[in-house]
Structure 1
Amino acid sequence: MYNHCTAINLIIHNGRVGEIYNVPGNNERINIEVVKIILKELDKPKVIKDKERCSNNE
């Protein structure tokens, strides 16, 4: 928690307008977890078949 608050304080006092700062909050997730959340929100199955994946020339 201390490191997170220190980072926020540093950005508030020394950050530049228009810059992007990535300050983690001990809520990191691996990529597959993020993908599953997105698929669930889009009401899509957890597994997308190759035919569906390639249907938009991807």
Structure 2
Amino acid sequence: MVLSRFIFSHLPSRYCLYVLARQIWNVDLPLISFALIVGKACWVVGSVCLCLSIVVALL
């Protein structure tokens, strides 16, 4: 009896945390993927510039 009352008293807060986590995840996921794409693009541009500077230095 005490256990069931304990579970029911803590269930709403758990559910609120779950909903909040889902909201944060839904918002953050596009931002994270966008940041990864931008980071990869910057890395590609940086490596191309590095290769070009090495080629220019060798010439």
Tell whether the structures are fold-level matches, with TM greater than 0.5: no
Larger RCO (alpha carbons 8 Å, 6+ apart): 1
| Greater gyration radius | 2
Relative to its length, the structure with more helix (as a share) is 2
TM band (smaller chain): under 0.3
